[in-house]
Structure 1
């Protein structure tokens, strides 16, 4: 009988993953703006690592859609095209509609309380980048509360790109942003707590549409 090949040894979380975490955080904090060049030699010097882990980290971030790597050229932080924006909006809408229906039908009171807690944190956001991070955390909580793990995985596959979309939104305009976003999310929480599917779907759609209109108005005028 043919013997089965032994499984490969498990790998510990490597240095490239840690480097990727630090670069990702820098992008999300605004330290590296959209379209910024990311040079391997500068990143390796700044983080005290060799260029190998940096190169591997950038490839990891490219798979997430956060950066764009070109052969023999510098890597840049991704700038979303109008097509990117439209595709992300439509896919996010489809996933979020299912999540809302699942939350209304299956979320526990503890799940809903955690969603509300993430929304409450928005009142203490110090700047727009922190608010974007809290917005993403709110939607993380909604997808987790849906209790549909393949849906969560689908959300995770576009999560970083949605974060980029929201960064694009605040780059276009921050007028009223810090005041409006907490209010919008409190309305979303109220609808979920009432287990009012139709109102929740309408409010989540309006929430997405507001950001989409800000971004696309800038794209159309450029």
Structure 2
């Protein structure tokens, strides 16, 4: 058996670029130029190229021979495809979780919803709101206790993160009005162990996010610049 490789600069580059994308510093559709990134991150172009390949596997980056690498676009088709798959996963996760959830886990879920409610009331930064929101869904998959289901969620999580961040920043009133209520409804159904109703609620929650994102695409302001000047 060969020795495991040490974590290298390619992973470090991928982490830095991923962080900038998921914080909204580098917007959807922005080009990711190897030379610029190598200079800003103080690594070789080879490390940047490998890092971008890792992000492409995560679904955050696309690479085309005539255009180079860029952050994934935010289009109605992209949103529909990602959230259609997400809806199917969340439905299954909620159905399984209803049969497995404990009082302790219900308290954790409720705590996350309460924290999200407080954060929305305090007009907290979008990144923190999203951390609480995705934390709720991460816990739901953990409760569902299916390794392959959790793996499917993790494969989709990065694009969902990027899309939801855009939704919160550009569609905040809708998010404020509906998000806490939808999460609380799901927790209540899990508490009553109503598996079918919880599954339907989870799927409807994802569909509402999809519809909100698609509705805002034609009206959101276009980004300015590629954000690479803030990638360090």
Q: Normalising TM by the smaller chain, what interval?
A: 0.7 to 0.9
Per mean C-alpha deviation after superposition, the further-off stretch among 23-32 and 191-200 is 191-200
1:115 aligns to what?
109
Q: How does 1:158-197 map to 2 (within 5 A)?
A: 158-170=156-168, 172-197=170-195
1:57 has 2:55 as partner: no
Per mean C-alpha deviation after superposition, the further-off stretch among 120-129 and 156-165 is 120-129
Q: How does 1:16-31 map to 2 (within 5 A)?
A: 16-31=10-25
1:33 aligns to what?
27
Shift of 1:220: 7.6
SS for the counterpart of 2:70 is strand
Say how many residue pairs are matched. Answer: 216
Shift of 1:78: 0.3
Q: How does 1:64-213 map to 2 (within 5 A)?
A: 64-71=58-65, 73-122=67-116, 123-124=118-119, 126-170=124-168, 172-213=170-211
Give CA-to-partner distance per residue, 1:120-139, whole Å, 9 cap, x none: 33222622233223222211
Shift of 1:155: 1.1
Question: Does the CA-based 8 Å contact 2:95-2:196 persist in structure 1?
Answer: no
Question: Does the CA-based 8 Å contact 1:29-1:130 persist in structure 2?
Answer: no
Distance 2:41 2:185 in 1: 42
Q: Which has the higher contact order (CA 8 A, sep 6+)?
A: 2
Q: State TM-score, norm by structure 2.
A: 0.82
Shift of 1:45: 2.1
Distance 2:195 2:79 in 1: 26
RMSD over aligned CA atoms reads: 2.4
Shift of 1:221: 8.3
Shift of 1:43: 1.8
2:227 aligns to what?
none
Question: Which 5+ residue runs of structure 1 have no aligned equivalent?
Answer: 1-6
Distance 1:108 1:174 in 2: 32
Distance 2:115 2:12 in 1: 27
Distance 1:106 1:61 in 2: 34
Question: Which 5+ residue runs of structure 2 have no aligned equivalent?
Answer: 221-232
Question: Does the CA-based 8 Å contact 1:131-1:178 persist in structure 2?
Answer: no
Distance 1:17 1:98, change over 3 A: same
Shift of 1:103: 0.7
